[in-house]
Amino acid sequence: MTSTSTSSRIAPLESASKQPRRSIQKLLEPMDRIAANCTRILGTAHGQFEQDGQSYFLPRYLHIGRKGGGDMMRVGIFATIHGDEPEGALALVRFMELLAERPEVGEGYGIFIYPLCNPTGFEDNTRHARSGKDLNREFWRDSTESEVQTLESEIRSQAFDGIITLHSDDTSDGLYGFVRGAVLSEHLLKPALLEAGRFLPRNHRERIDGFEARHGIIHSGYPGMLQAAPDANRPPFEITLETPHLAPVHRQVDALVAALKTILTEYRYLQAIGQNI
Ligand SMILES: [Zn+2]
């Protein structure tokens, strides 16, 4: 899947001194290649929208894992909702490689990967979308932002068992995460932070980002952040992973991949135990 944006158009003179836009095509190229070479991964484009005469879409890669013991578990992974935090998307390239090379990692799962939730912000290297909005404060608030509407409709229609979002925080010197939704979220984040801790230190502060935290875990969140629908029948587990933005990128990538892998393994165990009771 390649970008449909006409990024080659001539920039207006007044913006000639600005940094050139980053390339969506370049970001998605390795993911498209993995999807093309793996029969279990399917790449599609969702929610096409227009901005300043250019067209954008939200890429989605769906990995259908080998059948496990029970029902297929559906997990949505979302990255780059803040355009200046592409580390999550880079981690998802590695994670998709892993899914393609080692089928046991994704066994029993349908994994819906949304690596680029804020394409205009990514191009501009800004937290906000080009509309000026912080998309991660717009969810389930009747937002008029196309990206948010598309993601809300995906979240609603796919009825995920788990929602994981990836962020990178330039005010934190260590890893931490938010948990919401199902009670077991914390039992997934704990081991995930432990495994990710092989690559980066954890943020052990008692307050992180204005929230009360315990060993890098926050039981709260911002209103309007990407999350399950408020009226969802069965709340999924919800985890937001935050890496320290100023750490070396390859370490952030390694930490996120380790955390994702751990969450899948732990959730599979918890489901298996639950089904045997
Ligand atoms: Zn963020």
67 CA → ligand 1 middle, Å: 34
268 CA → ligand 1 middle, Å: 28
Indicate whether 12 pLDDT > 60: no
Indicate whether 207 pLDDT > 70: yes
How high is the pLDDT of residue 234? Answer: 87
pLDDT in tens, 139-188: 999 999 999 999 999 999 999 999 999 999 999 999 999 998 778 899 99
How high is the pLDDT of residue 224? Answer: 97
Q: What percent of the chain has pLDDT over 70?
A: 92
How high is the pLDDT of residue 230? Answer: 92
**Mean pLDDT, all residues of the chain:** 92
Indicate whether 119 pLDDT > 70: yes
29 CA → ligand 1 middle, Å: 23
235 CA → ligand 1 middle, Å: 23
81 CA → ligand 1 middle, Å: 7
Chain CA centroid to CA 77, Å = 4
Q: Among the listed ranges 46-55, 72-81, 114-123, which one has the minimum average pLDDT value?
A: 46-55
252 CA → ligand 1 middle, Å: 14
167 CA → ligand 1 middle, Å: 4
How high is the pLDDT of residue 276? Answer: 58
How high is the pLDDT of residue 106? Answer: 97
103 CA → ligand 1 middle, Å: 30
68 CA → ligand 1 middle, Å: 33
Indicate whether 69 pLDDT > 90: no
274 CA → ligand 1 middle, Å: 33
How high is the pLDDT of residue 152? Answer: 97
pTM of the model: 0.92
Q: Among the listed ranges 45-49, 106-110, 172-176, which one has the minimum average pLDDT value?
A: 45-49
210 CA → ligand 1 middle, Å: 14
